[in-house]
Amino acid sequence: MSAAARAAAARCPEHRARFERAGLSPDDLKTPDDLFGLDPVRRIDPAHWPGPPVDGWGEALKAMGLRSGDVVLTALPTRSGRTAETIDLALGRLGCRPVPSLANDAAFQITLLRDLSCKAYVGRPTDLAALEAQAGRDGLDVDELIPARVVLVLEAGRTEGEGGPPAPAPGKTGLRAYASAEAGCLGYECDRCAGFHPTVDVLIEVLDPESGRPAEPGRPGEVIVTILDPERPLIRYAPGDRAVLANRPCARGPVSFRLIEPETGSGG
Ligand SMILES: [Zn+2]
């Protein structure tokens, strides 16, 4: 933990100032309990983030079922340039073959999915919904077009790009990633427990809004993200999302959480 804290303080003035305010040195952070001496940070200048954060994406994409040799249609909007670039790198390291396409050209995507036998789709829920609608008009079966997993990208704190809420996965095969352009993939949706599991170096806290202390499992609170990878360090960052920690461990991982959709107030 202190290696990540040292890296964060060296790289990022927002982290450094917070350590100074708390009278702590990065070396003082040895266990997760030590994090409570630091207030959550809510804004970090984009220039102070490390990157590109590839490792979290690789772990998540593998957990979501992608394997070496899979052809994957990537349909991310051009303004998510960093996310798109990072996902392409992660897919390449897994041995997958990414096929980039325009986010909103459903007809062309259908041609690519058929001609290249793509196994998966990586894109936003809204664009996938448009693709499904187009496939329906063409009389095509989406499960045949995209036979295995559908991976949807959600961006932490501004999930649909412009500050909107996390959209539910429209397809029955859809699994979502919880991610931010700057910090990379923070967690991935699990087909067994329907919650999100944090990627390996990520600690997710859910804080009771009243007390600022950890919320009981099953109780909603504010998401706080810590990344212990010194290559993409982050100490107690609040992306602006709400979640509930699961009551029970899952076979895929001891910790899972459900994101709360801001519009409906229900678990997602
Ligand atoms: Zn699970």
- Name the CATH superfamily housing domain 54-189: ANL, N-terminal domain (3.40.50.12780)
Instruction: Calculate how far, in angstroms, residue 254's C-alpha sits from the geometric centre of ligand 1.
Output: 8
Q: Mark out the alpha helices in 51-172 (DSSP H runs).
A: 54-63, 81-94, 106-115, 125-137, 142-145
In the chain, what is the greatest distance between 2 CA atoms, to the nearest angstrom? 64
CB-CB contact of 109 with 130 (8 Å): no
For 146, the token pair is: 């995209």
- Ion ligand 1: residues, Cβ under 5 Å: 190, 192-193, 250, 252, 256
The CA-CA-CA angle for residues 187, 193, 197, to 5°, reads 15
Instruction: Calculate how far, in angstroms, residue 207's C-alpha sits from the geometric centre of ligand 1.
Output: 21
Mean pLDDT across the stretch 187-211? 91
Residue 42 has pLDDT above 70, yes or no: yes
Looking at 137-246, which runs of residues are DSSP E strands? 150-155, 174-180, 184-189, 196-198, 202-207, 220-227, 234-237, 242-245
What's phi and psi for 93, nearest 5 deg?
-65, -30
User: What percent of the chain is modeled with pLDDT above 90?
Assistant: 47
Instruction: Calculate how far, in angstroms, residue 256's C-alpha sits from the geometric centre of ligand 1.
Output: 6
pLDDT at 192: 86
* pLDDT tens digits for range 147-158: 766 677 777 775
Instruction: Calculate how far, in angstroms, residue 251's C-alpha sits from the geometric centre of ligand 1.
Output: 6
* pLDDT tens digits for range 241-264: 999 999 888 988 888 999 886 654
Instruction: Calculate how far, in angstroms, residue 195's C-alpha sits from the geometric centre of ligand 1.
Output: 6
Contacts of 51 (CB under 8 A, 6+ apart): 82, 86, 182, 184, 232
User: What does pTM read for this prediction?
Assistant: 0.85
Instruction: Calculate how far, in angstroms, residue 2's C-alpha sits from the geometric centre of ligand 1.
Output: 29
